[in-house]
Amino acid sequence: MVTTAAYGTWPSPVDAALAASHDGKPEFVGTVGGEIWWTEPRPAEGGRRALVRRRADGGTESVLPEPWNPRSRVIEYGGTPWAGAARDEGGPLVVFVHHADQRLYAYEPDGQGGPRPLTPVSGTGEGLRWVDPEVHLDRGEVWCVLEEFTGDAPTDVRRVIAAVPLDGSASDDRAAVRELSDDRHRFVTGPRLSHDGRRVAWIAWDHPAMPWDGTVVMVAEVTPEGAFNGVRPLVGATDESVVQVEWDRDGSLVFVSDLGGWWELQRIRPDAVAGGVVPTTRLCAVRDEEFGGPLWRIGLRWFRLLDNGLVAVIHGRGTTSLGVLDPETGELVDAVGPWTAWAETLAVQDTRVIGIAASPHTSYEVVELDTATGHARTIGSPHQDAVDPAYCPEPVIRTFTGPGGREIHAHVYPPRHPDRTGPEGEPPPYVIWAHGGPTGRSPLVLDLEIAYFTSRGFGVAEVNYGGSTGYGRAYRERLREQWGVVDVEDCAAVALGLADEGSADRDRLAIRGGSAGGWTAAASLTGTDVYACGAISYPILDLAGWATGETHDFESQYLESLVGPYAEVPERYRERSPVHRVDGLTAPFVLLQGLDDPICPPAQCDRFLAAIEGRGVPHAYLAFEGESHGFRRADTVKRALEAELSLYAQTFGIDLPDVPRLELKP
């Protein structure tokens, strides 16, 4: 029987501990001989990641015990942290980056010993870091990106492509590391070696551009000694974003570029010069879809080339699919299955494609597509219902209208419960979720954090505001010099649109976000009267501070495009910053921050709290030791969710005796 009960009071089996235990997803899939490997989250083990191995017989096991944690910190967001190779004898060899010290380690899982270090520790700044490795057994080396700090400031850093000996001779000798590229560019990706071993390609870019603004593909000849000669740019520009390159067997280079307004697959033959220009060709007809995404981490892959000439691609508009493209005919056939979001990682093995995907009803799992049969199946991290699916939300893909008639994309999750319904004529409270980035988007997937709220009678709307990826370059560039304006307006338009149509209670609207989403939440609370309260996690609160040394190198000039050149418009930085707009803040809020965060440091929260002191705004500040940018530990995620729910309950007048009460102080 369905019982009527006030929204927000519905009993739910989705508690904070359950949601926290399912936080994170598998990542960075790859093949090692006949095996498939990937990394998986372990929230209960201090938030570390595990390296998982699926043997040829289908058996799955974790390769590295605690405390080993394969995770890179290059550009702080990291990237592909491991690579492996099959050997004729002794089983596979895997190389990985250990998060605690950022050293490269080699490990023979079928041998007797444990991981052995390949790289030294540097006492300068944040030391030496590595990412996007490729093992070359024939050369006795692993090639990867080296990030090396030259001083104590976060911007005292250089990045090059380097070769590390597999014999361990560089474990305490920096001089034994061979630098393959020079440091003419501030940022580089890992090298991609051609099939004949004669050429290499990689992607590079420089401040103030971000990789979704403009990148260039560099190519070089590889000498028999393994040196890079004749380094030159091939394609790309300051207004063209190339996010992946791979060599085909015929010597051509396949890459993803957004020169046409969408990230599309292109092919170029480096030697086919016509009139001084190297021509490129599209592999697929224009579809107004993305075949790539933002390069937030080094080594992401949206496509893979199969030996039979086909190309496995992740593509879509808003949502994503795994497809198989025939570049000869342009025909694109999608895998059959429930998945609506594919992570930016692919591997291939013979005729099979391996990826990581989720849907509104399933969490992220490792999926294999056999292109010979068209059959897709789950082979790792299989989804298991943590609760009755009737308690999980059913999303609705919506398009709202914003200022000037612009389209705003959102995923709306109404309250859902198998035996509770709200009072007739009473709309539910709604929480607007602003994603991070801001050059990112919210995927259409099952998320127990959303179910934590919707199963209790709260609605959730994830807003892919202007600036989000997945909808073409023009949509992405709506945020250029408009951060704190367009994102705030778009979130408000969705919130008020839901209220105007009667789907949400106008008096019980909240906003939440983390990182750049935390900025949008704070800017919304200090700049509008739309929301009754908000949850702000590891945010940016002071633009001028963030632009003048309070963040890491990768994003240190991001605001030049998001806000404008600081030297030219310093007043804009002050006018938009929540720390300088507290006069407009009346709504209660909770502020959640990791004390080890190098991207959005606690100092920003300290200044914001000092600015509101004595203003009588109810608030709470929860700071977590050992947490960085984005919470990973199960106990932290649990505490943060409970605090957020308690804030909403207190603000909206809902009694929740089973949730720890968040102490709000004026």
pLDDT tens-digit series, residues 258-289: 999 999 999 999 887 666 677 889 999 889 99
For 282-323, write each residue's pLDDT tens digit: 999 889 999 999 999 999 999 999 999 999 999 999 999 999
Separation between Cα atoms, residue 16 and residue 291, nearest integer Å: 36
Separation between Cα atoms, residue 317 and residue 302, nearest integer Å: 14
**Phi and psi angles of residue 230, each rounded to the nearest 5 degrees, phi first:** 60, 40
pLDDT of amino acid 90 = 85
pLDDT of amino acid 450 = 98
For 323-334, write each residue's pLDDT tens digit: 999 999 999 999
Please determine, for residue 380, whether its predicted confidence score (pLDDT) is greater than 70. Answer: yes
- Give the Å distances, CA to CA, from 521 to 313, 526, 533: 34, 9, 10
Decide if 547 is inside a domain: yes
- What percent of the chain has pLDDT above 70? 99
Cβ atoms of 446 and 413 closer than 8 Å:
no
Separation between Cα atoms, residue 430 and residue 414, nearest integer Å: 8
Structure-block tokens of residue 619: 């608030």
Cβ atoms of 55 and 91 closer than 8 Å:
no
Separation between Cα atoms, residue 428 and residue 6, nearest integer Å: 9
pLDDT band at 545 (very low <50, low <70, confident <90, very high): very high
For 597-644, write each residue's pLDDT tens digit: 999 999 999 999 999 999 999 999 999 999 999 999 999 999 999 999
- Give the Å distances, CA to CA, from 559 to 14, 461, 480, 565: 38, 27, 9, 7
Decide if 428 is inside a domain: yes
**For residue 496, what is the domain's CATH number?**
3.40.50.1820
Decide if 495 is inside a domain: yes
Q: How many domains does the chain have?
A: 1
Separation between Cα atoms, residue 427 and residue 421, nearest integer Å: 11
pLDDT of amino acid 276 = 67
**Phi and psi angles of residue 33, each rounded to the nearest 5 degrees, phi first:** 65, -125
Separation between Cα atoms, residue 20 and residue 448, nearest integer Å: 8
Q: What is the SS3 assignment for 74? A: coil
Q: Whole-model pTM?
A: 0.96
Is the peptide bond between 208 and the residue preceding it cis, with omega within 30 degrees of 0?
A: yes
Helices (H), 528-633: 543-547, 559-562, 570-576, 602-612
Decide if 384 is inside a domain: no
Angle between helix axes 516-527 and 486-500 (nearest 10 degrees) is: 70
Averaged confidence pLDDT in the chain = 96
For 553-588, write each residue's pLDDT tens digit: 999 999 999 999 999 999 999 999 999 999 989 999
Separation between Cα atoms, residue 457 and residue 413, nearest integer Å: 11
For 413-468, write each residue's pLDDT tens digit: 999 999 999 999 999 999 999 999 999 999 999 999 999 999 999 999 999 999 99
Query: Looking at residues 386-397, what average pLDDT do you find?
Result: 97
Cβ atoms of 254 and 305 closer than 8 Å:
yes
Please determine, for residue 34, whether its predicted confidence score (pLDDT) is greater than 80. Answer: yes
pLDDT band at 112 (very low <50, low <70, confident <90, very high): confident
Number of alpha carbons in the 13 Å side-chain half-sphere of residue 70: 32
End-to-end CA distance of the chain: 43
Decide if 348 is inside a domain: no
- What percent of the chain has pLDDT above 90? 96
Decide if 10 is inside a domain: no
Structure-block tokens of residue 97: 């980056």
Decide if 350 is inside a domain: no
Please determine, for residue 148, whether its predicted confidence score (pLDDT) is greater than 80. Answer: yes
Decide if 440 is inside a domain: yes
pLDDT band at 107 (very low <50, low <70, confident <90, very high): very high
Cβ atoms of 327 and 283 closer than 8 Å:
yes
Expressed as residue numbers, the domain containing 516 is 392-584
Query: Residue type for 509, please?
Result: L
